[in-house]
Structures are given as C-alpha cells and as structure tokens.
Amino acid sequence: MPVTKEIVKIASAAMPFDEQWAIRRTRYDSGLPGGRLCIAAGTHGDEMMGQLVCFQVADRIQREPEHLRGLVDIYPMLNPLGLDIMERMVPVGTRLDMNLAFPGNPEGTPLEILCHAVMQDMLGADLVLDVHASTHYKSELYEVRMNEADADRLIPKARTLCPDLIWVYPEYAAYGSSLTSALCAAGTDALILEADERRRKPQEIAAGVVSGIFCKMRELGLWTGETQQAPAENSIPVVRTRAEVCRVTCSNPGVYVPEDRIGTEVREGELLGTVVDACEGVVRERVTAPAPGLVFSQRSYSAVYPGTLIARIRKEHV
C-alpha cells in the first residue's frame, strides 16, 4: 500500500496587518498498522536546524515508502512568523516565548489557543520529538534533553536516538511550560533534541540527528529499513546533576578566539580559547578547563564580557 502525504492546518490565528499565524502538520500515513511519531520544530524562530531535520526525515520516507509502518506527523514550523524574520520569540504583542506557553488555553490569547491546539493534536502519540538548536555564538553536541521528573522513564527511551549526550534538566518552574514537559504531564512521552547549527556543514549535523530518529522509529516498529546500530547500554554519557557539569566563564572583556574542543575529552588546564584585545594588541585571558571531562557546549568566535559562558564540561569524576 503506498504512503499518503497530507498537509493540514491544525490551527490559525489572525495577527495585526492582515497576517495569519497558521500551524501546519504534514502526515505520512503508511496505511499499515503501527504507532505514531510526532516531530516538531520551529518553536523558536531563530533556530533553523529543525527545518533541515524535518526535511531529511520526510525525504527518506518519500524515497523509501515501503519501509514505513504507522504514522509520522511532522510540524516543521510552530512559530512561522518568528522563523520568517529569524526572531526567537513570537514577534507580535509582548514577544512571548512560545516554549513557555504550553499547555495553552482554548479560551486564552492567540498564543495560548495555538499552543492548546498543538497539544491536542499531539496527544496520544507514541513519542513526540521537539527539535531545537544551539543559540547564537554557541555550539552543542547532539543532545537529548528531558525533565528530572520524567528521567527514570525516558532515559532508556532516549538512548535509541543515538545522541552524543543525555542531559537531565533539574526541576524549575519555566520548564513545566515547555511543549515536552506539558506533553509528559498529560501522559504522552516527549523529548527535546538539541543539535548544533553553528558549524560549517549543517547537513552533516542534521544527518546524525535523523539517523538517530530512524533508529528510534525502527525500535517503535515504525520503520523496517536499514538504520544505524542502537548504542550499547550505558555507552552514552548522562548528565543528571548540577555537580556533574563544570560551567566555564571568562573574566575579561574582549574577542573570544576558541580552540576546537567540542565533543572532545579535555584535561584539567587544557586551553579552551583566548580572549584578545585588538585595540591594545594583547591577550586578556587564556581560558582553560578547570576540570577534566567531555566538552559538550562551546562558545564560538564572538565578543565576550566578564561572566560570558565559554563552555560546559561533563566532569570525568564527580
């Protein structure tokens, strides 16, 4: 039976100046028994990696339709107005962060109404993947993130996505209003996929994420085609407490010139980068690793100020 593709508008709201905020879902239906996977992106309009991930997933399904079982729903642009102008927040009214507005409210503001519609459309899926990207001037490994309240249940499920790191967020109020946390609270498993988009070949970064998604789809019974081998148990580093993370900052203003440490194990005292002053022609600071471990977040070439985050290191020993 051939795979059908259906694009529907699941929600819309009128905006000022005759604009419309419309959220669309593309459904790939095999017509065969199976589960349902949802992939969302574009909650933050300045994060582009999700567009490439959604494209590559859709492209492979369309090239190899005989391997699909069940349903795959793709929501590539939850915040299309922000994406159009590369604006992180919803660029109307009070410029609110969409990922702090879930589960929404069917009787609330346009933002709350749309968040409610997204939630209702995703509820009941076997798994929801919310794709995000590194912020400006920062590189990240491919990470799966989740809330501490859901960690015991979700860590085993996250491994099959083949990330470089699993990061468990501590409990804090804002996270409870995110898409993934609201879905988990409503009984639908959901995970954040964080992927770097600041390096030179985003298609290679996206391909790694997509490879993990298809590995997960195979485990869920949604895909019968070839996938990468699932990682061995305990082979993926997990960060569960603040004590496991060494947060490195600089002490001087200037221009930060990084060494390429992302994804590498560093020794204590190893150089992470240099803060230079072009006006004076001097080195203001040599930023070194305070502890040994895996560099999973790294500042890129940019202006910095005292206290600017330079890197995050998963400590080798806690």
Q: Which residue has the higher pLDDT, 177 or 52?
A: 52
275 neighbors 256 (Cβ within 8 angstroms): yes
Lowest mean pLDDT segment, chosen from 88-97, 168-177, 247-256: 88-97
Q: Which residue has the higher pLDDT, 87 or 194?
A: 194
Give pLDDT, residue 137: 82
Give pLDDT, residue 100: 82
Superfamily of domain 4-239: Zn peptidases (3.40.630.10)
pLDDT tens digit string along 30-40? 999 989 999 99
- Is the pLDDT at 318 greater than 60? The verdict is no
Positive/negative CA dihedral, 252, 256, 262, 265:
negative
- Is the pLDDT at 19 greater than 80? The verdict is no
Average pLDDT over residues 6-25: 82
Lowest mean pLDDT segment, chosen from 98-112, 149-163, 166-180: 166-180
- Is the pLDDT at 252 greater than 90? The verdict is yes
Q: Hey, how many other C-beta atoms are within 10 angstroms of the C-beta on 33?
A: 8
- The mean pLDDT value of the chain amounts to 90
Give pLDDT, residue 134: 78
243-315: CATH, from 3.40.50.300, 1.10.150.20, 2.40.50.100, 3.40.50.720: 2.40.50.100
Burial code (b: 16+ CB inside 10 Å, e: under 16) for 192-206 equals bbbbbbbeeebeebb
Q: Which residue has the higher pLDDT, 135 or 48?
A: 48
Average pLDDT over residues 298-308: 94
pLDDT tens digit string along 173-222? 556 689 999 999 999 999 999 988 666 688 889 999 999 999 999 999 99
How is the chain split into domains, by residue range?
4-239, 243-315
- Is the pLDDT at 145 greater than 70? The verdict is yes
Helix (H) or strand (E) holding 121: helix 110-122
Domains 4-239 and 243-315 share a fold: no
pLDDT tens digit string along 128-142? 999 998 777 888 899
Three-class secondary structure of residue 273 per DSSP: strand
The burial class, CB within 10 Å (0-12 / 13-18 / 19+), for 310 is buried
Give pLDDT, residue 46: 76
- Is the pLDDT at 300 greater than 60? The verdict is yes
- Is the pLDDT at 308 greater than 90? The verdict is yes
Give pLDDT, residue 232: 84
